[in-house]
Amino acid sequence: MGCFVHWPPVSGADRPPVSPGRLVGVVQNVAEVLLAVAVGGMLASAVARVRRGQVRPVRCGHCGRPGSRAYVRCRHCGRDRP
Ligand SMILES: [Zn+2]
């Protein structure tokens, strides 16, 4: 017991400096960073728009109740939004 268990895990010091697996890891890290930047940028722009008051609920011109931008027809009164 103990001879076959390496803990803490051996670091990459005994591996070749550049291995295919390491390159894949780098590519994955870059992709994760890009994804995080893209998501963060979208969130930041959305928050900025809400703060500037550019996002307002769409209201039906007939009944005045809030509707959805995705539906042309009001779901309250059934008429097309102006
Ligand atoms: Zn309506």
pLDDT per residue, tens digit, the chain (82 aa), is: 555 666 666 665 566 566 778 888 889 999 999 999 999 999 999 888 878 876 677 788 889 888 877 777 888 898 886 6
Whole-number Å distance, alpha carbon 56 to ligand 1 midpoint, is 16
Q: What is the pLDDT of residue 79?
A: 87
Q: What is the pLDDT of residue 40?
A: 95
Contact between 42 and 65 under an 8 Å Cβ cutoff? The reply is no
Q: What is the pLDDT of residue 50?
A: 79
Whole-number Å distance, alpha carbon 59 to ligand 1 midpoint, is 8
Q: What is the pLDDT of residue 38?
A: 96
The whole-model pTM stands at 0.38
Whole-number Å distance, alpha carbon 51 to ligand 1 midpoint, is 27
Contact between 27 and 34 under an 8 Å Cβ cutoff? The reply is no
Alpha-carbon 23 to chain mean position: 25
Contact between 72 and 82 under an 8 Å Cβ cutoff? The reply is no
